[in-house]
Amino acid sequence: MLAPISWRVPPRHYGPWEQVVSTLTEGLVRRGVDVTLFASGDSLTAARLVAVAPTGYSEDPALNAKVYEGLHIAAAFERAGEFDLIHNHFDFLPVTYSRLVRTPVVTTIHGLSSEQNLQVFRAYDDIGHFVAISDADRRPGLCYRATIHHGLPMAEFTFQPIGGDYLLYLGRIHPDKGAAEAIMVARATGRKLIIAGIVQDAAYFETQVQPFLDEDNVVYAGAVGPAQRDTLLGGALALLHLINFDEPFGLSVIEAMATGTPVIAVRRGSMPEIVSDGLSGVLVDGVAEAVEGVERAATLDRWAVRRWAEERFSAERMVDDYLALYESILDERRRPPVLAGAPA
């Protein structure tokens, strides 16, 4: 299992790719799979941990990201012969090692970090074993082995049958994610808004978020860890996910639903796959509809929201899906090659 090394596995607060790696790795180990996890040295896992970087480079500015990325990826591929397969969660760069090893490489594409990176995936399309994290994120002309939605360890999210009266924004502070729009909705409805997440765009935070912060109406809670995240999610009336891009997935959306909290999301990207309009949340086409959606969200059955998450986004379902994919790939490798002119 080749994890990113921007953050620890599992992350202390932010780190969605690392969180997925952790959930999948620990789920596989519980199923009796022998997993070697390549991650930062401070990672916590029941798998066999191999580390080059002492910690995530986003957590220690003294680390040279490119140096440690190169060493980290090489460490996994230099041992490729020891593994039945390599599961890459490190974006496009490890894909370029695929032809150098006999071990099949599965790559979960966690959304393209750049559209230019698509040319790398296309160059290795014939052997890539690519996994999309939503049907909405599949790119035309690219061959995928499967679409596998992310899953959560549901026991780590506390169901709250009665939500609070505040709205919640949980995610990186960036124009793509819609913090400014969440503030607009909160002000229009007279609801308190709690904002939580790392500041990824300082200028955006300083101009679009910070001027509205106070102690009562719009509160910035900073980056939150698992315990505080669980409390904030479960205590909210609704999660506002008013994105300005075609989001490939959105972990915070299924985290909210796991606590019973409905999601008000813009109808873009993967949101129609993840949120059931009128059941687990409200799909909208802008701020005006989101304002109207707040009262709709307040009437939804929080037990139904939780069940939607349990049935579709559990860690067990995700592990099942990946195990089925692994077996399919390995079965193909076990079959004898068909000789030219021989009956298939």
Q: What is the CATH number of the domain that holds 172?
A: 3.40.50.2000
Residue 283 belongs to some domain of the structure: yes
Maximum pairwise Cα distance, the chain:
77
How far from 127 is each of 123, 196, 251, CA to CA, in Å?
A: 9, 40, 28
Contact yes or no for 170/256 (Cβ under 8 A): yes
Find the domain containing 107 and state its range. 16-151+314-334
The DSSP call for residue 235 is T
Q: Are residues 178 and 301 in the same domain?
A: yes
In the structure encoding, which two tokens stand for residue 130, read together? 């690519």
CA 249 from centre of chain: 6
Contact yes or no for 206/174 (Cβ under 8 A): no
Q: Are residues 209 and 180 in the same domain?
A: yes
Let me know if 116 is exposed, middle or buried by CB neighbors in 10 A (0-12, 13-18, 19+). exposed
Contact yes or no for 235/161 (Cβ under 8 A): no
Q: Are residues 53 and 194 in the same domain?
A: no
Residue 8 belongs to some domain of the structure: no
Instruction: From first to last of the 344 residues of the chain, give the pLDDT tens digit.
Output: 999 999 999 999 999 999 999 999 999 999 999 999 999 999 999 999 999 999 999 999 999 999 999 999 999 999 999 999 999 999 999 999 999 999 999 999 999 877 889 999 999 999 999 999 999 999 998 999 999 999 999 999 999 999 999 999 999 999 999 999 999 999 999 999 999 999 999 999 999 999 999 989 999 999 999 999 999 999 999 999 999 999 999 999 999 999 999 999 999 999 999 999 999 999 999 999 999 999 999 999 999 999 999 999 999 999 999 999 999 999 998 876 555 454 54
Q: Are residues 60 and 139 in the same domain?
A: yes
CA atoms of 169 and 177, how far apart (whole Å): 9
Nearest to 315 by CA among 156, 179, 150, 173: 150
CA atoms of 51 and 59, how far apart (whole Å): 16
pTM of the model: 0.93
Residue 191 belongs to some domain of the structure: yes
Domain count, the chain: 2
